[in-house]
């Protein structure tokens, strides 16, 4: 069997959720969209269900996967319904929905049911993606609140630059949110992962942690007091399956991006860009080789990558290579590869997952 695998530490996931909930100041909606950022939505939801206040997904297909797996906790469709035809499924499966546009609002108001709808009403506080304008938001609040089948609303918005601790935009959005919601009934939700970690003044009723659940710090190395508290959930690893020795001046891999400056032992590892490892990871990208610091050499191929074993005389065929996890951490690795932690985690495709500490 090909030795590439992703170990998913469910105890670390629960630890990170508890930290997010504490920092958020109230309840916390665990975001498991995009297959839980590549970690497996069903397994992660099962691991968190006993303590999570609810889950957030992008679309009804993701919600139905969780319901089909027996997840009974609240599930929010964070982008709302893409079509009014989804509303009967929302009722049938007891889902919560965001209302983030005038079209979604009118679809909900035209939907005649006797069950109770749980709605998170979204304000565009300055990100200019989803959400109602402040004027439309207050009018929508009044119209929805007048409906007997609508539960008390949750008032939400999303932050565009919370991962930049020196940006004034986050406090501007907070001020916009406070003015737009002044006097309106309902719990509130602003904090994404970056806000929960770096902006304590934004704490309110509901946090919506995503990236931090999976142990990746969204603040890109900016100093903050909780930087060392997150635990890596995914460890991506594989093994050396071939070793060769090359002479000075000989290249390795496509494009001859690495040329040996000394007699070099090369380990070929079963991991490539088709698995989700970044194709353009540069020479010297850190890895662990049998638990010791090492690095890649040459361009990453579809199914393979190469590491230098010259300074690892005991390493050889079968040696364990850790691509990320507790070391190297994904947020530190991502900028070296000109990508983001989100893309690294979500890009994994054919690598099988193995769950530990369930």
The residues annotated as belonging to the active site are 33, 254
Q: How far apart are CA 307 and CA 50, in angstroms?
A: 42
Determine if residue 220 is left, alpha or beta; phi over 0 gives left, psi from -120 to 50 gives alpha, anything else beta: left
Can you read off the two tokens belonging to residue 319? Answer: 């040696």
CA–CA gap between residue 257 and residue 277 (Å, rounded): 17
- Paired residues of 356 in beta bridges: 9
Which has the closest alpha carbon to 218: 23, 62, 10, 9? 23
Q: Which two tokens stand for residue 105?
A: 């609002």
Three-class DSSP labels, 111-180:
CCCCCCEEEEEEECCCCCCCCECHHHHHHHHHHHHCCCCECCCEEEECCCCCCCCCCCHHHHHHHHHHHH
Tokens describing residue 354: 């193995």
Give the single-character DSSP code of 214: G
Tokens of 38: 């590549």
Element (H, E) at 92: helix 87-92
CA atoms of 247 and 265, how far apart (whole Å): 9
């Amino acid at each position: 069997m090909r030795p590439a695998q992703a170990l998913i530490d469910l105890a670390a996931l629960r630890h990170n959720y508890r930290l997010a909930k504490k920092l958020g100041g109230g309840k916390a909606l665990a975001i498991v969209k995009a297959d839980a950022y590549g970690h497996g939505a069903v397994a992660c939801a099962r691991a968190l269900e006993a303590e999570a206040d609810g889950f957030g997904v992008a679309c009804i297909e993701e919600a139905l996967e969780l319901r089909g797996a027996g997840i009974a906790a609240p599930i929010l469709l964070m982008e709302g319904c893409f079509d009014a035809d989804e509303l009967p499924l929302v009722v049938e499966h007891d889902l919560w929905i965001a209302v983030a546009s005038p079209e979604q609002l009118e679809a909900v108001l035209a939907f005649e049911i006797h069950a109770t709808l749980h709605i998170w009403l979204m304000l565009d506080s300055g990100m200019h993606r989803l959400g109602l304008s402040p004027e439309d938001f207050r009018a929508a609040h009044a119209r929805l609140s007048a409906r007997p089948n609508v539960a008390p609303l949750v008032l939400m918005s999303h932050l565009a630059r919370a991962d930049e601790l020196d940006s004034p935009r986050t406090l501007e959005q907070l001020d916009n949110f406070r003015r737009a919601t002044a006097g309106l009934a309902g719990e509130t939700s602003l904090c994404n992962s970056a806000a929960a970690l770096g902006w304590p003044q934004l704490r309110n009723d509901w946090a919506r942690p995503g990236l931090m659940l999976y142990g990746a710090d969204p603040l890109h190395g900016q100093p903050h007091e909780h930087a060392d508290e997150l635990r890596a959930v995914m460890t991506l690893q594989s093994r050396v399956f071939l070793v060769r020795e090359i002479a000075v001046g000989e290249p390795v891999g496509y494009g001859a991006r690495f040329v040996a400056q000394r007699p070099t032992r090369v380990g070929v590892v079963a991991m490539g860009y088709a698995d989700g490892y970044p194709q353009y990871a540069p020479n010297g990208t850190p890895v662990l080789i049998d638990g010791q610091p090492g690095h890649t050499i040459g361009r990453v191929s579809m199914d393979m990558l190469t590491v230098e074993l010259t300074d690892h005389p005991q390493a050889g065929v079968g040696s364990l290579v850790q691509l990320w996890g507790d070391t190297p951490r994904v947020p530190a690795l991502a900028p070296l590869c000109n990508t983001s932690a989100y893309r690294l985690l979500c890009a994994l495709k054919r690598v099988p997952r193995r769950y530990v500490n369930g």
